[in-house]
Chains A and B, each alone.
Chain A
Amino acid sequence: MALTSQDIGRIAHLARLELSPNESERMLTQLNGFFDIVEKMRAVDTAGIEPLAHPVAAIQDIALRLRDDVASEPDQREANQKSAPAVERGLFLVPKVIE
């Protein structure tokens, strides 16, 4: 199953990546090369097999740990925004969001 340049365009948009025509071309070739080695995998019969998320779940049940409902984080706005590209009056600035 080969990807088309339309696929590349769609995925690049989904992933919010601007690709130059040359990059898209190269990407198409490389991804198709990659998906060739993936074909083997698709043929494997996995009927009745549970997917494995947390690897150690292969030998024991792993359940989500729950924490107590305590609000203990201090205001760290200044430190947290130190590496922010654009901030004004404590707000992160972005190009106008239109709804």
Chain B
Amino acid sequence: MTQTALHDLGVAQLATELRQRRVSAVEAARHFLARAQAHQHLGAYVALNEDATLAQARAADARLAAGTAGALEGVPLAHKDIFVTRDFPSTAGSKMLAGYQSPFDATVVTRLAQAGAVSLGKLNCDEFAMGSANENSAVAPVGFDAPAPVRNPWDQSRIPGGSSGGSAVAVAARLAPAATGTDTGGSIRQPASFCGITGIKPTYGRASRYGMIAFASSLDQAGPMARSAEDCALLLSAMCGPDPDRDSTSLDVPAEDFSRSLNDSLDGLRIGIPAEFFGEGLAPDVRAAVDGALKEYEKLGAKLVPISLPRTELSIPVYYIIAPAEASSNLSRFDGVKFGHRAKDYGDLLDMYKKTRAEGFGDEVKRRIMIGAYVLSHGYYDAYYLQAQKIRRMIADDFQNAFKDCDLIAGPVAPTVAWKLGEHGSDPLADYLADIFTLPGSLAGLPGMSVPAGFGEGGMPVGLQLIGNYFSEARLLNAAHRLQQATDFHLRSPL
């Protein structure tokens, strides 16, 4: 096993190499830590702790030697810095939590560790996962002493997408075989699409939210980001499962082996094509790549069925009411009393609160807190929050109607490929509108993924979005896997 090839291996292959002792967990960890150091300029990592990583790797090697290895034994991976971890600081990309040390690990982190995975470090993300470009991080990446942009390895003048931008970059640039991400309104699918990797957001309630620093409680879901559907299936199987003692929203749905049906035939599979996803807002290059992928599916025996998701456009206001409302409340705990940032100079208690929060939060977070506090405030609740929650049900019902005619839904992840750093400037609305295709599935809590479907303008990757009905992750991964066996987009490397 030559070092150069090591980082080209996917999770599944690497796990095999490790199990057959052709490479040790310590070697693998060292290799990826070295790559992380060598590619600091991409700004993917915000925290490394070599001692902790190597300690985990040595423990994994011991279990490999003892023959007590787990499914992911010794496989290195990195976590989005929205998950709290004992071994690394947990900042959520915010100045508010600079250097914050969590006394416990997130359930997802624990489950992956129990499967034998080794943590390489923490990955950059938009502050409190609020953003579509990863331009809202207030944390200095490893190798920088001030916040610096996370760069798309396919074109370093472009954004990687967000909010799980660091995760997408780390995987695309081979700085980690896989990474965890979280998806509230598209934060796994969109950066996966922009960086040419594979990512899946499971059904809401499949993965525990315990230890995920909350953004929007009724939308946040953890999921894996890797290079292939096969790898995602392995990781998702380890991440999911009920967490009855820690998370009341996690469902009593037993953990599954999501790899079980990867190779099933797609013969007769009915793929719904929502007209609303292919309107004039969709860039031609993205449309061309998506159409190409859909043709592949037809070759694989699938049928394309026209469907309608009539409230697709409404999902933007609905999402940007509900998510900020929940966020404004979730972020109230950051008050400078129990943990995190407190202003240096302040007068009375009220002044301490206001200065602490003004200093600790970035512009986008403040905007969403303001929107959220407003739509929940006296006299506006019914007109905004309640109305949004009702339309949310209508959107979920639209999907149930659509699934009467199809087995899964396909379309673009985003209207365009990754845009230039700073291109949207100080216009937050531009970012909001770009979420249009990922928001409906998020509001309905449906599983969705992004699969590399080709390349568009400037040679930038384009992702195909697959949306399944509740609990149909295995089916989604099967469809994605079959496409990846017929194409090689997911194997291309930017570096």
CB distance from A15 to the nearest CB of B (A): 4
Q: Out of A85, A86, A96, name the residue touching B349 (CB < 8 Å).
A: A96
Interface residues on chain B, size class = 35 or more
**Is A18 in contact with B358, judged by CB distance below 8 angstroms?**
yes
B71-99 at interface with A (beta carbon < 8 Å): 99
B residues less than 8 Å from A52 (CB atoms):
389-390, 392-393, 396
B50 at interface by CB-CB < 8 Å: no
Partner of A27, one of B203, B370, B390: B370
Contact A40 B338 (CB under 8 A): no
Whether A37 and B317, one on each chain, are in contact in the complex, defined by CB atoms closer than 8 angstroms, is yes
What residues of chain A lie closer than 8 Å to B349, measured between beta carbons?
A: 94-97
Q: Which B residues fall within an 8 A CB radius of A?
A: 99-101, 103, 203-205, 218-219, 244-245, 248-249, 251-252, 313-314, 316-318, 320-321, 328, 332, 335-342, 346-355, 357-358, 361, 366-367, 369-371, 373-374, 377, 383-384, 386-394, 396-397, 400, 426, 428-429, 432-433, 443-446, 470
Tell me which residues across on chain A come within 8 A of B373, comparing CB atoms.
Answer: 11, 14-15
Which residue in chain A gives the minimum CB-CB distance to B441? A55
**Chain B residues whose CB sits within 8 angstroms of the CB of A67 once the complex forms:** 244-245
CA distance A55 to B322 in the complex (A): 12
Q: Which of B205, B353, B383, B400 contacts A54 (CB 8 A)?
A: B205
Query: Is B369 a contact of A17 with CB atoms below 8 Å?
Result: yes
A72 — nearest CB in chain B belongs to which residue? B245
Of the listed residues A53, A67, A86, the one surrounded by the most CB atoms of chain B closer than 10 A to its CB is A53
Q: Which chain A residues lie closer than 8 Å to B204 at the CB level?
A: 54-56
Chain A residues whose CB sits within 8 angstroms of the CB of B346 once the complex forms: 95
> Beyond A41-B391, A46-B390, A53-B389, is A15–B370 a contact (Cβ under 8 Å)?
yes
In the complex, the answer to whether B313 meets A85 with C-beta atoms within 8 Å is: no
Question: Which residues on the A side are within 8 Å of B203 (C-beta)?
Answer: 56
B317 touches A38 (CB 8 A): yes
**Nearest A residue to B375 by beta-carbon distance?**
A38
30 contacts between A and B (CB under 8 A): A8-B370, A15-B357, A16-B350, A17-B354, A18-B354, A23-B366, A27-B367, A27-B370, A30-B429, A37-B320, A38-B321, A40-B313, A44-B387, A46-B390, A49-B393, A53-B389, A55-B396, A55-B446, A58-B400, A58-B444, A58-B445, A81-B338, A82-B103, A83-B99, A83-B339, A85-B341, A92-B338, A95-B347, A96-B348, A97-B349
